[in-house]
Structure 1
Amino acid sequence: MGPGWPSQSLVLPLLGFLLGIAEASHPCDVIRGSYSDWIGSAINKDVVIVGGGISGLSAMKKLLEEQVTDVVILEAQDYLGGRVKTYREGSILIEEGAEWIHGGRRNPLYKLADSLGMLTQPLEDSEYDWRLKTSGGDEASEAGYSVAEEVFNQCGESSALQGYYDTAHGQCFLDRFESLYDDGSTSPEEKNAWLHYLNMWALRDGGVNDWMEQSARDVDQFIAYGGEDKLNQWSQGYDALTNYLKSSIPEEKIKLNTPVCKIFWESDPNGKALIVTATNEAYLTDYVLVTASVGHLKERHLQLFDPSLPARYQNDLNKIDLGVADKIQIGWESPWWEKTDPKPLDLHIIFKNFDLPAEESWLYGIMEVLGVHQQPNVLQAFVVGDSAREMENLSTDDVQRHFLKFLSRVTGQTVPEPSFFRRSQWGKNVWVRGSYSSYITVSGDQAGLKSREPLAEAIINSYGNRVIHWAGEHTHLSRYGTVDGALSSGRRAALEILEEIESDH
């Protein structure tokens, strides 16, 4: 080996990784060695961005606009966008990740999509084939739905949330439901069915694992852009945003399939950070911007950072979590739910009897099956919380079989074999470990994390350099769990780095 190359003891396991024969529980587990083993082969960069999601791309765009050009994005996966992931198959276009532009005109993404001629308007409620069913196929009570809707809306208001700051968001739902639901004319089974429906609704829209886990104070810090029910979309796919951001970035500044496995942030005598990838590359940089999901950081920070992150930051990571909300997407050659003049289906489901076979119990995590906008032959369902994790561990064939059987039972109709089927598995993705929304836990709030501000604070090494910066939806103080929040966080981090560069000069 020539000078600057890692030793043979390092190269052999890396070759095993590249050939797909390494036996490791995580793609980065094959990486070995210390700072001194890697520094000789390091490539110098002013800034290294870890992660090519929306926050990383946004940061890169801003840095390039300000003439900071010695920058590279290292993305672990084979695509850009992170949890923005559009999938196409023939004439079908679905969003495996982010789908909507929440909040209407106040959302900067609304203005951007509109300026690019790629904005669609949401359908009115009257344009849907709206159905309310039990899991056994009977008609469900509209009165029960009205109560669930009222409770859901009330527990999104600051006036209600402030009374629950020291406890869980779910407690608001439980209390309001108990006070509003009149069960004098209904069975206990129906009341419990609507409470379960409300629970799944809260998990789906909040992107959390358990409604008794999320701090009500955290919920109240979210700022809605004039109502989150204003759901616009990108007409040609959400990856139009990814492509827009990427269009201003030279191709050579983006490296896909390049997982970052180690960040040495205290070892360099000049106070820089040394980054090592699973592809046997090393980068020496003044600033590293980490945009990885908080799910990945919680799982891998002890292996990723050398030395470990400051105790303060580690403790704050333990006070936040990332939920799992997966999607089931299924399509046919034509709509089967209505033969003449079909509308997009909007099927709401309550479980009066929890009598599904054990292997199908993941279906309890579904409360609505909805037509996909601009895809008249495709239906979609969210699967949330523990049910999502159960679903992810099943084979695709089993998930499809269970879901078709369930649809037939609920609708009372014969459901034909589909021509398209896809399900997401965000929890199993080792680079994400969850879906769209992070949340401060009740225990985290009680332990002192009252906002996300500490998660966005740069890490200063012993040389006095603010060497590690952070971005991503979990670092936004008021628009966490949104794409515009991720976009804004990347720009904010880039501005921080620009200030550092300017002060150094």
Structure 2
Amino acid sequence: MYRLASRRSLYNAAALQAEVTGLQQHGNRHDFNYNLESTKLNAQIVIIGGGLAGLSAAQHLLANGFHNTLVLEATDRYGGRINSKRFGDTYCELGAKWVNIDGSHDSMYELLRNAEGLTKELKQPTRVRYIHAEGEGQQSNIPPRMVELIDTLFRDLCRGYRVRDKVKSGGDLHSLDNVMSYFQSESDKLISASFKLPSEQTMAREIFQSLFKDFSSILGCCLEYMNIQYVTSCPLEQESNPIYVPTGLDNIVNDLTHNLGGQQLQTGKPVGQIQWKTQTECQLVGCLDGSLYHADHIICTLPLGVLKNFSAALFKPMLPLNKLQAIQNLGFGNPVKIYLSYKRPINHWLKSNFRPLGSLLKPIQTQAADVSSANPLRCWTQQVVEISQQPSSRHVLEIRVGGGYYDEIEKLPDATLLEQITNLLRQCLCNPRIPYPQAMLRSNWNSSACYLGGRPYFSVNSSARDVQSLAAPLGDAAPTLLFAGDATALNGFGTIDGARSSGIREAQRIIDFYNMKYCA
């Protein structure tokens, strides 16, 4: 049971040193084991954030005997950016949606595969139709072979092969200023080499632009802001057949919280101050409701957006300069999720998933803040990547958006958004009778005070070194303040796998610290 700050902490680093010294004098191996187990029971560990990183850390600590572990979650729900909602006739994911097949230990796939009684399905491959938003909606003008070829070429760009060639040759390095410059420069060369007719080149350019927006939609950021190192360090290689959970991905989270009681996982506990020590000072975590908690170790899994806005005032003493700089350097996006539910089955007018073409992506610098403007060059619907029917649903559409306008779209009134997306559907499908939906579900990661953004990425001012700086633990004799979350994991950066592995990583760091003290 956790004790409030007014009560004396049962354990600290000084006490640990005294016990180890005494045990060394007696040289009794039985005493070593006894005191190690006793220390595990008494060590107070506070985990800030009940997302995937925090819950994975807690589960790992509990499994290794650290039962005095507490998770403080600011919102009224746990799971972080895994957020499933019942909507229409199905479940919709406002955050992470798919789990890639991965055989590594402690991956999300392993967690999903081992979950008992949970229905899992492979995403079935579907051919997406490309149509012109301002044309007659004809697919025949776009040969399937062209689409397949461009998709293959683009996947190679995403893996960063051509980046390495450019760096080795030392030529055309200006195209490596950001991801968009790289994509644009290389796609122009590929189009010229692969297609001879002007009409084919125009069509190929529009398909490439759609794929650029697809890449952007995953991260929720403009590609002009992204460091080219992202495609070499964290390539987005989507599985062709990932796994999804028809009843909601947050079912996985239930397995992580199975052994966490009400006193160990507390929701509605936004943290206002983190007092961490460098030597022997008392460590405290203070919540905005006035409660205080002693801690021998603190694992911070706050989202990057929250750290950017509040790290200067949240931590006492202030974080080291290199860590503050890393927080400010790294970028974070705001992926937009929009779901529409219709009264009648949508297969009456939607025969297949499709992607609108004909609206080339404009540089972010030319975009106006007023995205509801009637100016077609500034309308957010030009950034729609794909309109698709939800798996296992007859009534729900998903609208994916890329390229820009993420924060502005989130602020659009429901009525404006519904009118504009319905007009786009009618225009693309040449059907003025497409009805208005009866309900809408939207994400709001950027405007949520407990997240202030979504998935992290390498901005043009950041690199892998910033990830390492953010992940580095603080403390002199012991790791007293540790950092986890998808922004602290180079392997799986910005993904649910990265979040989970980072939590386990920091939990294991604490476990290793005590094992070394007692078993060396």
Give the letter aligned to residue 369 of structure 1.
Answer: I
The SS at the match of 2:217 is: helix
CA contact (8 A) 1:54 1:242 kept: yes
Q: Give the 4+ runs in structure 1 shifted more than 6 A.
A: 41-45, 353-356
1:376 equivalent in structure 2: 394
Q: Does 1:390 align with 2:405?
A: no
1:109 equivalent in structure 2: 108
Give the letter aligned to residue 263 of structure 1.
Answer: I
Alignment of 1:199-278 (within 5 A): 199-205=212-218, 207-222=219-234, 228-266=239-277, 270-278=280-288
The SS at the match of 1:478 is: coil
The SS at the match of 1:379 is: strand
Q: Does 1:481 align with 2:494?
A: yes
Give the superposition deviation at 1:311.
0.3
CA contact (8 A) 2:47 2:71 kept: yes
The higher radius of gyration belongs to 2
Q: 1:77 to 1:183 in 2, by over 3 A?
A: farther
Deviations 1:41-76 (A, max 9, x none): 798771100000011000000111111111111101
1:490 equivalent in structure 2: 503
Of residues 127, 134, 154, the one that matches 1:152 is: 154
Alignment of 1:15-414 (within 5 A): 40=6, 46-89=44-87, 91-103=89-101, 108-115=107-114, 116=116, 117-125=118-126, 130-138=128-136, 139=138, 141-142=141-142, 145-146=147-148, 148-163=150-165, 167-181=177-191, 182=195, 184-186=197-199, 193-205=206-218, 207-222=219-234, 228-266=239-277, 270-338=280-348, 345-352=352-359, 357-358=374-375, 361-384=379-402, 386-413=404-431, 414=433
The SS at the match of 1:460 is: coil
Which stretch has the larger CA shift, 305-314 or 330-339?
330-339
Give the letter aligned to residue 239 of structure 2.
Answer: E
CA contact (8 A) 1:287 1:468 kept: yes
1:3 equivalent in structure 2: none
Give the superposition deviation at 1:409.
1.6
Deviations 1:271-317 (A, max 9, x none): 34211111111112111101111121112111211222100111112
CA contact (8 A) 2:344 2:395 kept: yes
Separation (CA, whole Å) in 2 of partners of 1:388 and 1:338: 31
CA contact (8 A) 1:457 1:469 kept: yes
Deviations 1:448-470 (A, max 9, x none): x4462222110125xx4421101
Separation (CA, whole Å) in 1 of partners of 2:230 and 2:206: 27
Deviations 1:14-46 (A, max 9, x none): xxxxxxxxxxxxxxxxxxxxxxxx954798771
Separation (CA, whole Å) in 2 of partners of 1:106 and 1:46: 30
Give the letter aligned to residue 423 of structure 1.
Answer: R
Give the superposition deviation at 1:157.
2.4
Give the letter aligned to residue 415 of structure 1.
Answer: I
Separation (CA, whole Å) in 1 of partners of 2:303 and 2:60: 21
Which stretch has the larger CA shift, 295-304 or 75-84?
295-304
CA contact (8 A) 1:208 1:323 kept: yes
Unaligned runs of 5+ in 2: 11-42, 168-175, 363-371
CA contact (8 A) 2:274 2:314 kept: yes
Deviations 1:130-162 (A, max 9, x none): 432122243365267456424421212242232
Q: Does 1:502 align with 2:515?
A: yes
Give the letter aligned to residue 438 of structure 2.
Answer: S
CA contact (8 A) 2:484 2:502 kept: yes
Separation (CA, whole Å) in 2 of partners of 1:493 and 1:385: 35
Separation (CA, whole Å) in 2 of partners of 1:180 and 1:99: 32
Give the letter aligned to residue 217 of structure 1.
Answer: Q
Separation (CA, whole Å) in 2 of partners of 1:431 and 1:376: 34
Q: CA RMSD in A?
A: 2.9
CA contact (8 A) 1:455 1:475 kept: yes
Give the superposition deviation at 1:229.
2.7
Deviations 1:185-232 (A, max 9, x none): 339976764454233122023x0512132223232223778x533321
Of residues 429, 434, 437, the one that matches 1:418 is: 437
Deviations 1:434-479 (A, max 9, x none): 22x311223223xxx4462222110125xx4421101111111121
Give the letter aligned to residue 158 of structure 2.
Answer: G
1:443 equivalent in structure 2: 461
Separation (CA, whole Å) in 2 of partners of 1:276 and 1:215: 36
Give TM-score, length-normalised by structure 1: 0.81
Aligned length in residues: 453
CA contact (8 A) 2:332 2:457 kept: yes
Separation (CA, whole Å) in 1 of partners of 2:208 and 2:125: 26
The SS at the match of 2:80 is: coil
Q: 1:394 to 1:180 in 2, by over 3 A?
A: same
Give the letter aligned to residue 131 of structure 1.
Answer: R
Unaligned runs of 5+ in 1: 1-37
Give the superposition deviation at 1:82.
0.4
Q: 1:248 to 1:479 in 2, by over 3 A?
A: same
Give the letter aligned to residue 493 of structure 1.
Answer: E
Give the superposition deviation at 1:255.
1.0
CA contact (8 A) 2:277 2:480 kept: no
CA contact (8 A) 1:168 1:213 kept: yes
Give the letter aligned to residue 475 of structure 1.
Answer: T
CA contact (8 A) 2:129 2:355 kept: yes
Separation (CA, whole Å) in 1 of partners of 2:129 and 2:203: 17
Q: 1:297 to 1:333 in 2, by over 3 A?
A: same
The SS at the match of 1:313 is: helix
1:21 equivalent in structure 2: none
Separation (CA, whole Å) in 2 of partners of 1:375 and 1:103: 23
Give the letter aligned to residue 121 of structure 1.
Answer: L
Say which structure is richer in strand: 1
Give TM-score, length-normalised by structure 2: 0.79
Deviations 1:362-399 (A, max 9, x none): 22221111111112321101223531111111122222
Separation (CA, whole Å) in 2 of partners of 1:212 and 1:84: 27
Give the letter aligned to residue 72 of structure 2.
Answer: L
